[in-house]
Structure 1
Amino acid sequence: MAVLLVVTGVGQMGDTGKPTGWYLPEVAHPWKVFTDAGLKVTFASPKGGKTPVDPSSVEAFKGDPVCAQFLENNDLMAQLDSTASLADVKPSDYKAIFFAGGHGTMWDFPDDVNLLKVTAAVYEQGGVVSSVCHGQAALVNVKLSDGSYLVQGKKVTSWTNNEENAVKLMEVMPFPLETKLRERGCDFVETTVFTENVQVAGRLVTGQNPASATPTAAAVVKAISG
């Protein structure tokens, strides 16, 4: 019983010079939920290798014990410095794929050919596809074998346009994530900015923001066992 936990390999927001990366609580908390449930977690990224943590997330969550313990775990940090490339991943090895957020995902998730293939394969073999916050950048272009978008007709959430505007980064993003998901035909569900929101559409599980990371992962565990 294994989960593929995918993180961004991008450490800068476009050409702004502003640092980014994977968002700490959206990796640390799901990792804990999955491992506490007895699931094996493999870290991957679109190109493999070393991946950056968003420094702002380290600062924001320095008082969070789960995040602190995660950062202090040298073995986990080594794994995130040597992630598997999605080109080398065998989808049949995994019951679920989980895309962590962080603004970097907006640049390397949407159009990565191997990401699109692996995600569709996991879903069509009966596995769970899941993501939180900007991790949903992975879902905007995933098509199933019948040509339909994975998110089409399903209840989905993500980091919202209101949240992007609230942190004043909308102009930096290559596209507005919520808008793109709506264009793909999903039934987009949002709640108040920065508050917990998890949507479960069968084997597609999405969470809105960092506050949703733990319950999103818990919903994944339930979907796997269900």
Structure 2
Amino acid sequence: MKVLIVCTNHDTYPSKSGKTGSWLSELTHFYDVMIRRRVLIDIVSPQGGHIPIDERSLDLKDEVNQQYWDDETFQQKITNSLAPEQVHAEDYRLIYFSGGHGAMWDLTSNPALEKMARTIYENNGIVSAVSYGVCGLLNIKLSDGSLLINDKYLTGLSNVEETLQAFVSEVPFSLEDKLKENGAHYTKSMIPFMEFIELDERLITGQNPHSARKIASKALEELFEK
């Protein structure tokens, strides 16, 4: 079985000088669960090649982050990520949109990635995403023209969490608001930054970085145990 992880290539903010990109634990914690089950993983990004890691997420006291930061295979995958044209969606049972602020700029409207997700979903595969990665689901249209997320229960980074991070002025839109505008039933945990996931048939979403491992575990359960 093969799994496809989607990451951002975008690393800048409109006015803040710090660099953004992918949030490391959203990538490593999901990756770790899959690797332990001997699942084959490919990583794709809008442009292919180098995937920037948000400097605020480089927490190497996190053992899983440290393990994969030092792992040659993992580093190869994020240094030489696949471009969309190198990916055959039919080969995958699951697609996972990893987050980080950068995702809001280059994953929100990306026809090639949206087409991949639609193909996987319509082939009875799973579409999953965490935190800002959920923005990659906003505009996915199914073959009948309907939005994938319309009338679906899902989660993603909340307005409260965004405000607590003090990055509201930098992001191009509110993820929570946009999900609701596009017809989703948005849910969240009562307490910000607590692990929280939502499952609606073959759509699995996580609210924040702490939810990545649980998404992977739930996805494996859905794929292997049903």
With structure 2 as the length reference, what TM-score do the two structures score?
A: 0.96
Is 1:9 the counterpart of 2:9? The answer is yes
How is 1:199-210 mapped onto 2 (pairs within 5 angstroms)? 199-210=198-209
Partner of 2:104: 106
Is the counterpart of residue 29 in structure 1 residue 6 in structure 2? no
- The corresponding residue for 1:218 is 217
- Counterpart for residue 137 of structure 1: 135
CA RMSD in angstroms, aligned pairs only: 1.0
Single out whichever of 112-121 and 6-15 deviates more from structure 2.
6-15
Amino acid at match of 1:184: N
Residue of structure 2 equivalent to 1:128: 126
How much has 1:120 moved relative to structure 2?
A: 0.8
Contact residue 161 and residue 176 of structure 1 kept, 8 A: yes
- Superposition deviation, residue 55 in structure 1: 1.1
Q: Shift of residue 14 of structure 1? A: 3.4
SS in 1 for 2:3: strand
Whole-Å separation in 1 of the counterparts to 2:192 and 2:185: 18
Distance in structure 1 (CA, Å) of the matches to 2:103 and 2:17: 16
Instruction: Kindly indicate whether residue 188 of structure 2 is the aligned counterpart of residue 190 of structure 1.
Output: yes
Which whole-Å CA distance do the structure 1 matches of 2:196 and 2:147 have between them? 22
Looking at structure 1, the residues matched to 21 and 98 of structure 2 have their Cα atoms a distance apart, in angstroms, of: 10
2:91 aligns with one of 68, 90, 93: 93
Deviation sequence 1:121-164 (CA, Å, 0-9, x none): 11111110001111101001111111111111111000011100
Instruction: Note if contact 2:15-2:170 (Cα within 8 Å) is conserved in structure 1.
Output: no
Q: Which residue of 1 aligns with 2:154?
A: 156
Distance 1:181 1:37 in 2: 32
SS of match in other structure, 2:69? helix
Q: TM-score, normalised by structure 1?
A: 0.96
Letter in 2 for 1:25: S
1:179 match: 177
For 2:40, the aligned partner's letter is: K
In the TM superposition, residue 15 of structure 1 has moved relative to its aligned partner by 5.0
Range 195-204 or range 14-23, more displaced: 14-23
Listed as ranges, the gaps of 5+ residues in structure 2 are none
How many angstroms does 1:87 deviate by?
2.5
Alignment of 1:31-110 (within 5 A): 31-58=31-58, 61-110=59-108
SS at match of 1:84: coil
| Native 8 Å contact 2:18 2:55 kept in 1 | no
SS at structure 1 position matched to 2:105: helix
Distance in 2, Cα, partners of 1:186 & 1:39: 30
- Cα deviation 1:141-189 (Å, max 9, x = unaligned): 1111111111111110000111001101111111101111111111110
